[in-house]
Every structure is written in structure tokens, then in C-alpha cells.
Amino acid sequence: MDDGQSDRRCPQPGRPCSPLSLGLLQMQLILHYDETYREVKYGNMGLPDIDSKMLIGINVTPIAALLYTPVLIRFFGTKWMMFLGVGIYALFVSTNYWERYYTLVPSAVALGMAIVPLWASMGNYITRMAQKYYEYSHYKERDEQGPQQRPPRGSHAPYLLVFQTIFYSFFHLSFACAQLPMIYFLNHYLYDLNHTLSSVHSCGTNSQGILSGFNKTVLKSLPRSRNLIVVESVLMAVAFVAMLLVRPTEEIDLRSVGWGNIFQLPFKHVRDFRLRHLVPFFIYSGFEVLFACTGLALGYGVCSVGLERLAYLLVAYGLGASASSLLGLLGLWLPRQVPLLSGAGLHLLLTISLFFWAPTPRVLRHIWILYVAAILWGVGSGLNKTGLSTLLGILYEDKERQDFIFTIYHWWQAVAIFVVYLGASLPMKVRLSGLGEGLWGIRHPPSPSSGNIPSECPPWPRSPGRAPLTKGWPQTQTSRAASPPEGLSLPLAEGFTVCSLPVGHPSRLVCRWVTCSPGVGL
Amino acid sequence: MSLGLMSWAWTAPNCTIGDSSLLPNISYYIPFCTLAPGLHLFAACSNIKNLAQALRAVPRDTEALCLQGTVTILPADAFGHFPTLQLLRLQLGAIRITSGTFQGLDQLQHLSFEHHAPCCLSLFLPPDALEPLGFLNTLSFHGYCLNHSQDVQLPISLSRLTLRHSCLTDLQELQGLFPNLVSGSSHTPSPSPRTPFLELLDLSANLQLSRVGSQALRGLQLHSLRLNGTPLNVLDLLGSGLIHLDSLYLVGTGAKKLPGNVTGYFALRALDLGRNQVWNLEDGDLLSCQSLERLSLHANGLQLLPPSFLSALPQLQRLNLSVNKLGPTLVLPGGLVSSNLRMLDLSHNELCMLPCRAFSSLPQLQELWLSGNNISNLSRESLEGLRWLKTLDLSWNQIKMLTPDWLSSLPALTSLNLLGTHLEHISGRQLQGPLKLSHLQLGSPDMMEIYPPWPPALLSLELWAEGSIVFRVPKGEPFLFLENFTLQTTFMLLHPNNATLRFPSLRHLTLRGCSTFIFSQRRVFLGLPLLEHLHFWSDHNGAGDLRLFGMPRLRVLELGDLDFLYNARSVQLEMLLKELPQLQVLALSNLNLGNLSVSSFRGLGHLRLLLLSSEWALGLDSSLQELIPQMPQYVYFSDVTFTCQCESSWVGPWATRAPNTFVYGLEKSICKANASDYSRTPLLAFLSGHCSHDSEFQAFLTSASLVLLMTFLALLSCPKWPWLHRLRTLFHAWWWKLGGQHPRNQFHYDVFISYCEQDQAWVLQELVPALEQPLPDGAGLRLCLPERDFGVGQDRMDATTASMESSRATLCVLSHQALGSPWCSLELRIATHNLVANPGTACLLLLFLEPIDRRLLHSYHRLGRWLQKEDYFDLSQGRVEWDAFCEQLRKRLRKAGRERED
């Protein structure tokens, strides 16, 4: 497969914007943390309160995403949704020029609203693009076979794998790039660890909450507002470029048409049997990303080696994740579950070893361990993210379902992030245990009660009375179920049931318990 | 709680906040707040109107609080925010105190209420007001009457009670006021614990206090009692029931004789009779004063001491006889040798001569004060016998000459003061004798020359001479152990010219009036490795280059009246401060600093106090705002005029809100735009009025609107969505309507006219003029006539279809010939098709020139369904209705046009 071509065909539009906002948010939170800066610049505006409301807005709003994301994606279409999401990210960057309650909090809420739709549509888009690219590169063969012939199931999987790999590699790379403002701007203003950590006594597994005892002043000198405006303008320019990259020029057969029972469908999909078994993965995926940012980077990193090395730790994490996303290509040769499970296993090992490690504050001797831990955690993250998105694209080929599936994935992730956010003040041991618990849950997914066992999965019914306006793959209902994918088949996926509700029959809301044949699901 | 307790000072309006360790430098700014020793953070607020508002800005860990202003009531828990408060001084006028006012002040040790003029304000103290103060040590009322208060419970820890300038008339009143202080005879013993012992009871300046009721102070154990300025008869104290008294102060009571009875009764150890009229001391009184150890007869007009004076007071250790008339020749009573007198103060007694062996009867004398007399001649003999004398003060006498051996009889002398004398040449030989002479002060009105050898143990040296001081040091003799050096002169010279003078142990250096030449000649203060304090006030004459180097331990630097910074200003300050890494206090006064920037203060990490005073056109560069986190804890601006420039706009938020710095004096500072600006604009008003920070807001507005614009433009240009298309058309129509015009339509014509060749003449002559001519003659419509408007070589079919689509309406002129014509039939068919395909937008009008059977019409049944009555016109009945027809036709076309627009 021609990687260069696939790269060209695979735009990664929101790529710079999401970590960009993360970097900006991180910078602003550090600036706002400093008491002198806060008081001198904002006086009695109550900035800590605003910041906490902002974080609530970002973390809580996505909980409702399951309700509105499919509607938004259906209304605007995938690419438009991405464009609007990036626009909201840009708006958030813009409000950071002028920080007031009525700019920051609404934009944070909007940002929280945009996260899940943006990511869901991004996953959807990449999957569709991979499918389209497969279609494009196999055009002649398919033409000879006859236009009505559907490509064999799972045939686009390698393409999807490469696409997702490239996307996540770039995404995690931009995660590292998001630290550039820290490295080139803010680090010059920070006190060293002897000042900031002067009253920090316990780190790592012994710590409680986020950086208790951290000095209230972290800025050695205050950045001038002119310099801040320059930095923010650079970020703003990047956000604009991202918006231009996503510019919704043409809509390539991306929208699922028809509204159907769009409000019920997400909930029906939540109960999809394959998804249900992936839910621990989704949740752990949310846990680990926020744990990397708060637990590992703050509780272990900043707490022991100072704020001035936070950026470098996150760069290490980003680069590790970026490189290991490329490792996802191993999925072309190895069984598909290997990268996914090895990522989770790596995280489990790291979690266990972190559980027994309490770095000494203000000691730089063990900094290499931190870098190694950050890189390894990044490796796990990269494998996890890439593998999960690829797997979803492989499992759910028809585009009618993809937006729901990706919505549910990112919604679970958002719920997990919200839980981590809630538990930020807990002792580190409790948090690590929670994380380990989540990882353990992957190994023992809930096993639904079994019932009557027909031999094959029920086909996904189509809406009656609606002409198939998309001319992609005419779906012969038997072909999908009849040809089980050869790829990932976890040993645990044996004999479980699914409660699948037929689409388009709102009156028939009765659950049909169906059991799949072993090995079909994953 | 932990946040509030951090020792950070905030700039508070009207309040001065400081650390008492910095008091030597900032005491000028807090005139009304004298502090107890051992307190650190203090706050002094003046002009208080609203107590709660004023206290809000005071740091919570303040230990001393002085409040001045007018407040009517101290509410309950008024000072609960300051749990560490140890000293509270209130000058708040007529206040009402509630019982819970002092709640939470567990650590308070000193509490005073003061009102200075005129006496006296009434103050009501609730009985339990002082109960929360478990550690109260000092309680003081100054200028308040407590007549209305009763039964105030004093804390048992109290040891000093002051009621000055009050309206006490009888000591008996204390019983009712403080029942646990004095157990009155009539009262039953109070249930609360007694105050066991009072160190000081100060009732000075109670101008009406003349009576002592019997047993008024029954049971009170008192160390000292001050009755200065009261008309009380001291003898009445004998019946007051006072058990024990050590010291009695009777300054300015108008006493004419020693209170011998009282002294004898209480066996007083200290008695102060300053500023009275005790002209004579009688032997009888003296006899009962045997217990006295300290006696002060300052300013009494004494002319003579009785011969038995010293023998009658065998315990006397300190005797103050200053400002009397014991001169011109000192006659001390001889006789018995007083073995105990340690201190004798004879200053300002008009003494001219000290006779030989004048002090021989005082062998134990350690301090002798003789300043302000007219002594001109001193000899070894007159000071004979003072073997233990340590301090000798001869300042401000007329001494012109000293014999070389005049100190040889004072082997224990450590401190010698010769300021204000006329000694112009002082050699070390004249100071030989005492081996431990460590403190030396020398002064002369005009000039002074000093010769070695220096006293070997000299620690402190002070030299005053208006004109010049010349050190003649042929061998460069260093001051080996000198720690303190004060020099007030214009020129300090070294002789010979190549000599150097070293001070290897110097810690404090004070230079007043010297030119900067003293530093730049590099011969005097060459290396001062131990110097900690440097005070340098120049005389404005020096233009040299001041470089402070070789002072690695300098902590306090005060510079004043230097003009050397006139050129290349901030660079100079930077150079000056470059090699002073340990600097903690920097006080700059009248230096013409100009613009201060970040480079001036680089590397001063330990700076705690920055004091800028008497500056003209001071500018604070915007680069300084980077330094805000490292600013010294206290920054004082005093009598500073700033430059009106927006570069300093960071100053306002910094001064009012920076949590690590207390800034004093910006509120009252003014600024000047240029040298001829006399408008006296307050600096903060100028900054808030002229320098607004809009750039951030503008950047936000610009970027946010760009993002929104981009999104909306992209939304609007997306062709895929029908709802968006409709929205756009609606908006388009609304926009044109808003402008009061019809949209520039997509219709090129108003009416497409279909007719056959036979009807052409009628059409051209009748119909076209009526429709096409401009108003009011015709309808002013744009017509499309196939024969006229179709292009040459155009396909007629295509042209017909296109023209019909770009016309608002199609008018078919129907006659029998027309129905027979293939083109007319085709056009009617196309029009009918349009009508059916685009209902609501297409408009077909039929004009019958002659009666035609409707069934001859093509697809009549379809037309009948789609056409309304007003859509066809019948002209076959004659020409009478022509005008009406035209009107109706125009109306219908207008309506069709409107419909299509909507």
C-alpha cells in the first residue's frame, strides 16, 4: 500500500487543534495558579473560581454528548462537524486573550460540548476515508465483478489500520508540539524546584490530591501582556490553519441520510454486544489519558522534579505515543488483539510498579525513571488509541452505524475522564487502584446471560420505505453475517448475547435475545 | 486560614505596613505607632472612617496594629481576623466598645486607647470587655474619662495600667472602676481573681486628681507609681492603704521639698522630682530618704548641695542633677566617701571649672556627664580618683586644649565624648592612658587634624567638623578594630598624599556632607569586607563616579543628595548596585534617578526594603513589571513626583494587589507630563484615565469574530443543504426588501408574449404599446417578442424555453390562427408544462382575441385545473373594455411578479 498516497488522502484536520487547546489550557492554568500574577492581573475577579468552573464545563458537558452528538453529526455531516468542532476549539483559544467569566466559562462549556462530536466525527471520517480509499484503489476489480457486489468483509482493514496509525501518530506528535509554548515561553518565567517544591513532602504513591503543598508562587518574573498576546496569537494562527485545513469543501458521501429514531439509536447501540465488551477498554482509555496528564505528570513528575520539567515529561509522553502509534502497523501482520492487549498490559505493569514508587521531592537523581515511565505510558496510550479506533472501524463497517459507535466510544471516554476529574483529590493509591481495576476489567468483561442460541448474528435491519441514497455498498444482509472476519477474535468472546433492536421499527421495542456464534464478535 | 496567615503584606489604603526590623529606615512614616520590642509585622492606619473596610486590607498575621481616625463603634469581634495581634493602639475618637469587641485576641499584650486633644472624651467600657484578653500586660487610657464604666474586670496578667490625661479626682474611683485591682473596704471581696502585683500605675496628667480617699489603694502591691503633673498631695498616699511601693515619679508637681515622709514610709528606692521647685535640700528630709537608690532633681534650680547630702543617702547609685545652677565652680559635698554612687549627671549646670580632685569622694563613679557646661580647662588633677570611670561626656564645652596626660588618671575609661569642643589638633597621645577606650566622639566647628597612634581598642569613632578633617598618617596606620565610623565634614583629607587608610573591621559607616570624591580617590575606603551598613549623604558637589566595590556583606545602603547620577542614569544605578549581592535595604533619596528599568535591580534577590524619596520625574519602566514576583517586600515612595507615562501603567495593579509587596505612598503621588506641567495630576488617576489595556480585548474581539465569520461564511457557501439554500434565498429577499428595492431578479423579461403571424399586427399596434410604454401611458413592462428578441441563429426551441424561464409570466395571444400555428401550440405546451412543473412560480396568462371553443385548446382539462379566472382575458366581445383589460392585465402581471419573488 502506498503510504504517501494514503497520507495525502487522509487529512487529519482537528489534529493540531485539540492538543493545542490543551497546551494553552495548561499554560493558562499555570499562569493562573501563580498568586502574584493572578492578583496583579485580575485582582478580585475570582479567577480560581472561574478556572474551576471552566474545568467543570470541559469535563461535565461531554456527559450529555450521547444525546446530541448523533443529531449534530447527522445534521451537519461528518466533515462539517469536524469543522465546527475545530471552530469551537479556535474560539476557546480566542477567549484566552481576554479572560473574563463570561468569555471563559461559556467557551469552556462549548468546548466540552464539542469534544465528543469532534472526535466521533473524526473517527468516523478516517474510517470512511479508509473505506473510500480501498474502494478507489480497487475500483477496476470491483467494476469487473459487477457494481452490485459488496467487497468482502474486513477487506479494508489494512487500509484503516494505516490511516488510523498515521492519524494517531500525528496527533500524539502534536501533543508533544503543544508543549512548545511551555518550553520556549513559560519555562523562562518559572521558579526552579527548590522554590516551588519547598513544602512538598510526599510524591507519587504517597501523595494525596494534586500537588498538595505546592508553592503558591511559581513565576520568577511575570510575562508581559504583550508577550502573552504574541504567544496566544501564534496559537490562534495555528487554530486558524487547522480550521482552513478542515474547510468543508465537498461532502464525499459521508452523511448517513435520514433521521429515523436518532434519539433512540445511541442507546440501542450502547447495548450492542460487541460494544459492551469493549466498554472497559473505552473507560480505561479515558482513565489512562487523564492519568498521564495529572497523575503521572503532576503527581510523580512535577511533584518530584519541578514544574520546569513538566513540558519535557509531556513531550516524552507525546513522542512515545507518537512512535508507538506507528507500532500499530504491526497489526498488519500480528493478530489484531496483540497491540491492544500489549498496550493495556504495559499500562498494567506500569500501574503496579507506580503503586510501589514514591519519588523523593526535589531530587533529580531518578528523573530518568520518570522519563522512561512517561515514554512507556505514551507507548501504551498510542497502542491503545490506535488499536481501539481501528477495531471499531473494522467491527462496524456500515456507515449508518459508525457515527453512533464512535460517539459511544468517546462518550465512555468522556465519562471516564469525568470520573478521574472527580477523583483528582483522592490519594494517589486510590487512583492507581481505580486505574488497575479498570485495566483488570478488560480481562474479565461482564458476561451477559445466555439464552436461546441461534447460529448466526442477526443482520442489521435497514429502515423500510427509505431509498438507499448512498451508492456505496448495497448491503446484502446475509453476506455480512455469513462471512465472519478473520481478524481479532478474543477467547473471551464466546457465547454472549446481544440485545439488538431493529432500526426503523419503533413500535417493536422488544428485545430480541440473540447469541452469536463463538468468535464472531471480535 | 493557612492562606490568610502567610506573612504577606498588602497595600492598604491609608495604612502603613512594615516589619519592625526595618524600623530604623521607615519610622518616619509611622509617627503615631510606637512599638513594643519583639514584634515583627505591624500596620498603622490613619484617617479611618470605616473600620471593617480599613482592616480588610491589613495582613492577617499582623502583630501590632495602630489605628487612627474617627470610628463611632467597635463592633463585636472587630479584630477577630488578627489572631496573632499582640499590640493594639486605638486613636479613634469617641468610640463605643461592646463586650465582644476584643474577642479572639488571645495573644494581645498591649492595649491602649489614646485621645490627644482636648481632654477628655468619655469612654464606656463594658465590665466583661477585657475578659478575652488572657495575656494582656499593658493597658493604657490616654485622654479618656472612664466615669461611666463600673466593675471592669482586669485580666490577672496585667502589670502596667495607665490612666493619663483622664478626669480622675480621687484615687478612690479606681475601686469602683477596677474592683479586682483594689479591694475596697466597702466591697465584698470580688469573686474574680485579684490582680496580685502591678508593676506600674501611671496616673500622670490627671489635672483634677487631688484627693486620696482613705484606703483607696488598699491591698495594692505596686512597683512604681507615676503622679507626674497631678496636684495630689503626696503625703495623702500614706493613708491610701498601699502596701508596697518602690518608685515614685513626681515630675512637675510643683513640689518645693523632698517628700521625706513618703520616702521613708515606703522605703522608696527611686524618686523622680524633675521640674519642680526644690531649691534647697533640708537635712531632715534627707535623713528619711536613706533607702533611695535613684534620685532625680533635674531642672529644679538647685544652687547648692547640703554638706551631708552624700552621707545621708548611702544607698544612692544614680544621681541626676542636670539643668540646675550648681556652677560656676563645682562644689561637691566632701566628707564621707559615698561608695555606691555610679552615675552622676551634672550637665547644663554652668560649670566653668573643675577643682582639683573634685570627684575624689566618689571612687565608684562609672558615668560622669558634664556636657553643656563652660568648662575650658581640663587637667589630670581634676579627674583624679575616678579609677572606675567608664563614660565621660564633655561635649559642648569650651575645651581648646588637652594636656597629653589628662586621661592618665582614668584607666577604666571606655567612652569619651568631645563633640562640640574647639579641639583642632588631636593626637593619639592625648588619648593615652585608658587602655580600653573604645567609643570616641570628637567634634570641632571648622576643621580638625588627627594624628596617630589610634587608641588600640577603638570600636566606634565619630568625627564632626564643618570644613575638613585631615588624617595625618605617615605610615598608613590602620584602624584595626574600628566597627563604627561616623564622619560629618565636607572634605576628608589624607596626609601625606600617597597614604592610605584602612578599616578592616568596619561594619557601620556613616558619611554626611562628604563629596563622592572620598570613594573615587581609592585611598580611604579601599576594601571593607565586613561592612554591613553604609549611609552616605553627599553635599551635591561631587560629580565623580561612585563605585561601591569590595563590600560583599553590605546589607543596608542609604544614599542621599547625590548628583552623580545625572547622566546616563539607570546605567549608573545598575553599576552601583552590581557588586552588592547581600543588600537588604536600599534607601535612595534625592538622587535624580530618572527612569528605572529592570536592569537597575537585577541580582538584588535579598532586597527587602526599597525606599525612594524626594525624587523628581521618576519613571518606572514597563520592563520592571517582570520583576513583580521578586520585588522587595516593602516599597516606600515618599515625596516622589513621577513622570506621566503609560509605561508605568502596571504600577497601579501592582501597588494595590500584589500579594508579596507592600507599597507605600503611591496614592498621594503626583505625576508631571513635562517640566512645565503644574497640574499636579495624581499618578493613579492618570494611569487609570489615560492608559487603558484594550489590546487584549481587541485581540479577543478580532480573533473571535474572525472565527465566527469564517464559520458562517463556510456555512453559507455550502451548496449541499436545501434548508440552507432556502434560508439563503429568504435572507436574500429580506435583505433587498430591507433596502426598499426589489431584488435584481433572475428574470430578464416581465412577459413572454406568444402570438402567431396573423395576430402580429394587433400585438404590435395595440398590445405592445399598452404594456411596454413607460408609465403612465403604458405599463412599463419588459416584453419578450420572439420575432424581436430572439438572437440571430439561435435555436428557436431553446430560445423559447430559456426566455419563458427568464420571464415572470407568459402571455399567450390566442385566436383560431394561433391554435393552428405549430409554434404557438408548442409555446402553449411549454408554458403549460412550466405551469405544472413549477406550480407557484410559473405564470401563464391566456388572452382570447376571438371566441374559441375551450375544447380546441390543447390539454384544456389540465389548464382548467391550474388556471384561475383572473388568468385569462377575453377580448372577443369588443374594444370597449380595452382600458379595463389593460389595467387588469397589469395587475395580474404585478401579482405574478410578486408571487415569483416570494
| Sign, CA torsion B646/B652/B657/B660 | positive
More confident residue, A22 or B295: B295
The whole-number pLDDT of residue A469 equals 41
Tens-digit pLDDT profile for residues A348-378: 899 889 888 888 888 888 889 999 999 999 9
Regarding whether B875 and B805 lie in a shared domain, the answer is yes
Average pLDDT value for residue range B210-237: 87
Regarding whether B883 and B762 lie in a shared domain, the answer is yes
Residue B586 CB partners (closer than 8 Å, separation 6+): B557, B577, B604, B607, B609, B610, B611, B632
Answer whether residue A510 shows pLDDT above 60: no
For residue B650, the distance in angstroms to the closest alpha carbon of chain A comes to 9
The whole-number pLDDT of residue A268 equals 80
Residues A224, B711: C-beta atoms closer than 8 Å: no
The whole-number pLDDT of residue B8 equals 46
Chain B residues touching A247 at Cβ < 8 A: 714
For residue B429, give the CATH number of its domain. 3.80.10
Average pLDDT value for residue range A390-404: 82
Residues A83, B626: C-beta atoms closer than 8 Å: no
Regarding whether B405 and B341 lie in a shared domain, the answer is no
Q: Report the range out of A314-323, B252-261, B608-617, B793-802 with the highest average pLDDT.
A: A314-323
Answer whether residue B638 shows pLDDT above 90: no
Answer whether residue A422 shows pLDDT above 90: no
The whole-number pLDDT of residue A257 equals 53
Round to whole Å and give the CA distance between A233 and A306: 28
**Chain B positions with Cβ closer than 8 Å to A:** 3, 6, 622-623, 625-630, 650, 653-654, 656-660, 693, 695-697, 699-701, 703-704, 706-708, 710-711, 714, 718, 720
Average pLDDT value for residue range A296-300: 87
Answer whether residue A480 shows pLDDT above 80: no
Chain A residues touching B711 at Cβ < 8 A: 83-84, 87
The whole-number pLDDT of residue B396 equals 92
Residue B902: pLDDT band (50, 70, 90) is: low
The whole-number pLDDT of residue A515 equals 28
Tens-digit pLDDT profile for residues B293-303: 999 999 998 88
Average pLDDT value for residue range B611-640: 86
Regarding whether B378 and B273 lie in a shared domain, the answer is yes
Q: What is the distance, to the nearest Å, from the Cα of residue B639 to the centroid of all Cα atoms in its chain?
A: 14
Helix, strand or coil, per DSSP, at residue B811: strand
Q: Which of B1, B30, B2 is nearest to B665 (CA)?
A: B30
For residue A219, the distance in angstroms to the closest alpha carbon of chain B comes to 7
B628, B658, B720: residue with CB nearest A251: B720
Interface pTM, i.e. ipTM: 0.76
Q: Establish if B218 belongs to a structural domain.
A: no
Q: Establish if B333 belongs to a structural domain.
A: yes
Residues B707, A221: C-beta atoms closer than 8 Å: no
Regarding whether B403 and B321 lie in a shared domain, the answer is no
Average pLDDT value for residue range B490-517: 85
Q: Which of B500, B460, B463 is nearest to B482 (CA)?
A: B460
Regarding whether B886 and B759 lie in a shared domain, the answer is yes
Answer whether residue A475 shows pLDDT above 80: no
For residue B267, give the CATH number of its domain. 3.80.10.10
Regarding whether B357 and B413 lie in a shared domain, the answer is no
- Looking at B359, B383, B407, which one is the last position of a domain? B383
B627, B659, B711: residue with CB nearest A87: B711
Position of cell 479572639? B104
Tens-digit pLDDT profile for residues B835-867: 888 776 778 888 888 887 777 776 676 677 777
The whole-number pLDDT of residue B532 equals 92
Grid coordinates belonging to B37: 520590642
Regarding whether B430 and B304 lie in a shared domain, the answer is no
Q: Establish if B828 belongs to a structural domain.
A: yes
Chain A residues touching B695 at Cβ < 8 A: 225-226, 229
Regarding whether B826 and B891 lie in a shared domain, the answer is yes
HSE-up of residue B535 (Cα within 13 Å, Cβ side): 13
Average pLDDT value for residue range A393-415: 85
Grid coordinates belonging to B292: 533611695
Tens-digit pLDDT profile for residues B536-567: 888 766 555 677 778 888 999 998 887 655 55
Grid coordinates belonging to B703: 480573533
- Report the mean per-residue pLDDT for chain A: 74
Q: Establish if B170 belongs to a structural domain.
A: no
Answer whether residue B162 shows pLDDT above 70: yes
The whole-number pLDDT of residue B540 equals 64
The whole-number pLDDT of residue B223 equals 92
Taking the Cβ of residue A225 and every Cβ of chain B, the question of whether any pair is shorter than 8 Å is answered with yes
| C-alpha triplet A504, A506, A512: angle, nearest 5° | 90
For residue A148, the distance in angstroms to the closest alpha carbon of chain B comes to 26
Phi and psi torsions of A225, nearest 5°: -65, -30
Strands B138-142 and B807-814, sheet pairing: unpaired
Chain A residues touching B714 at Cβ < 8 A: 83, 247-248
Give the CA-trace dihedral at B217, B218, B221, B222, to 10 degrees.
Answer: 20
Helix, strand or coil, per DSSP, at residue B415: strand
| Residue-number span of the structural domain to which B786 is assigned | 750-899
| C-alpha triplet B517, B521, B525: angle, nearest 5° | 95
Round to whole Å and give the CA distance between A334 and A383: 13
The whole-number pLDDT of residue B522 equals 66
The CA–CA distances, whole Å, from B564 to A309, B543, B552, B748 equal: 46, 5, 23, 87
Q: Establish if B65 belongs to a structural domain.
A: no
Residue B246: pLDDT band (50, 70, 90) is: very high
Residues B697, A97: C-beta atoms closer than 8 Å: yes
Chain A residues touching B660 at Cβ < 8 A: 36, 217
Q: Which of A500, A506, A498 is nearest to A464 (CA)?
A: A506
Q: Establish if B78 belongs to a structural domain.
A: no
How many CB pairs lie under 8 A apart between chains A and B? Answer: 94
The whole-number pLDDT of residue B120 equals 83
- Looking at B505, B539, B568, which one is the last position of a domain? B505
Answer whether residue B312 shows pLDDT above 90: no
Answer whether residue B198 shows pLDDT above 50: yes
Average pLDDT value for residue range B256-281: 90
Tens-digit pLDDT profile for residues B398-410: 988 888 888 888 9
Residues A39, B658: C-beta atoms closer than 8 Å: yes
Chain A residues touching B718 at Cβ < 8 A: 80, 248
| C-alpha triplet B755, B759, B761: angle, nearest 5° | 120
Tens-digit pLDDT profile for residues B711-755: 888 877 766 667 777 777 788 788 877 776 555 556 778 888 888
A43, A219, A224: residue with CB nearest B629: A219
Let me know how long chain A is.
Answer: 522
The whole-number pLDDT of residue A255 equals 53
The whole-number pLDDT of residue A193 equals 86
A43, A94, A216: residue with CB nearest B657: A43
| Integer-rounded Cα radius of gyration of chain B | 52
Residue of B nearest to A237 (CA): B703
Taking the Cβ of residue A222 and every Cβ of chain B, the question of whether any pair is shorter than 8 Å is answered with yes
According to DSSP, the residues that pair with A468 across neighbouring strands are none
For residue A381, the distance in angstroms to the closest alpha carbon of chain B comes to 32
Regarding whether B497 and B433 lie in a shared domain, the answer is yes
Residues B700, A98: C-beta atoms closer than 8 Å: yes
Residues B704, A94: C-beta atoms closer than 8 Å: yes
Average pLDDT value for residue range A78-84: 85
Answer whether residue A12 shows pLDDT above 60: no
- Report the mean per-residue pLDDT for chain B: 83
Chain A residues touching B716 at Cβ < 8 A: none
For residue B882, give the CATH number of its domain. 3.40.50.10140
Regarding whether B773 and B890 lie in a shared domain, the answer is yes
Answer whether residue A463 shows pLDDT above 70: no
Helices A310-327 and A367-395 meet at what angle, rounded to 10?
A: 40
Residues B699, A232: C-beta atoms closer than 8 Å: yes
Q: Tell me B430's DSSP state.
A: G
Answer whether residue B779 shows pLDDT above 80: no
The whole-number pLDDT of residue B878 equals 62
For residue B648, the distance in angstroms to the closest alpha carbon of chain A comes to 13
Residues A94, B711: C-beta atoms closer than 8 Å: no
Residues A98, B627: C-beta atoms closer than 8 Å: no
The whole-number pLDDT of residue A146 equals 54
Answer whether residue A486 shows pLDDT above 80: no
Residues B700, A94: C-beta atoms closer than 8 Å: yes
Residue of B nearest to A104 (CA): B700
Taking the Cβ of residue A236 and every Cβ of chain B, the question of whether any pair is shorter than 8 Å is answered with yes
Chain A residues touching B629 at Cβ < 8 A: 34, 36-37, 217, 219-222
For residue A427, the distance in angstroms to the closest alpha carbon of chain B comes to 21
For residue A228, the distance in angstroms to the closest alpha carbon of chain B comes to 9
Taking the Cβ of residue A91 and every Cβ of chain B, the question of whether any pair is shorter than 8 Å is answered with yes
User: b/e for B462-499, b at 16 or more Cβ within 10 A?
Assistant: bbbbeeebbbbbeeebbbebbbbbbbbbbbbbbeeeeb
Q: Tell me A293's DSSP state.
A: I
Considering only A99-108, A191-200, A457-466, B218-227, which range has the smallest mean pLDDT?
A457-466
Considering only B581-595, B616-630, B878-892, which range has the smallest mean pLDDT?
B878-892
Residues B696, A87: C-beta atoms closer than 8 Å: no
Residue of B nearest to A189 (CA): B626
Residue of B nearest to A225 (CA): B696
Residue B140: pLDDT band (50, 70, 90) is: very high
Cβ proximity of B479 and B460 under 8 Å: no
Phi/psi zone of residue A362: left (φ > 0), alpha (ψ -120 to 50 degrees), beta? left
Q: Establish if B199 belongs to a structural domain.
A: no
Taking the Cβ of residue A499 and every Cβ of chain B, the question of whether any pair is shorter than 8 Å is answered with no
The whole-number pLDDT of residue A3 equals 34
Position of cell 478507489? A136
Residue A39: pLDDT band (50, 70, 90) is: confident
- Looking at B383, B408, B435, which one is the last position of a domain? B383
Mutate to test the interface with A, among B53, B707, B715, B721 (most CBs of A within 10 A): B707
Average pLDDT value for residue range B464-472: 89
The whole-number pLDDT of residue B7 equals 38
Q: How many domains does chain B have?
A: 3
More confident residue, A448 or B474: B474
Regarding whether B754 and B885 lie in a shared domain, the answer is yes
Tens-digit pLDDT profile for residues B73-100: 888 888 888 888 999 999 988 888 888 8
Chain B residues touching A234 at Cβ < 8 A: none
Taking the Cβ of residue A240 and every Cβ of chain B, the question of whether any pair is shorter than 8 Å is answered with yes
Tens-digit pLDDT profile for residues B874-889: 777 665 567 777 777 7
Q: Establish if B875 belongs to a structural domain.
A: yes
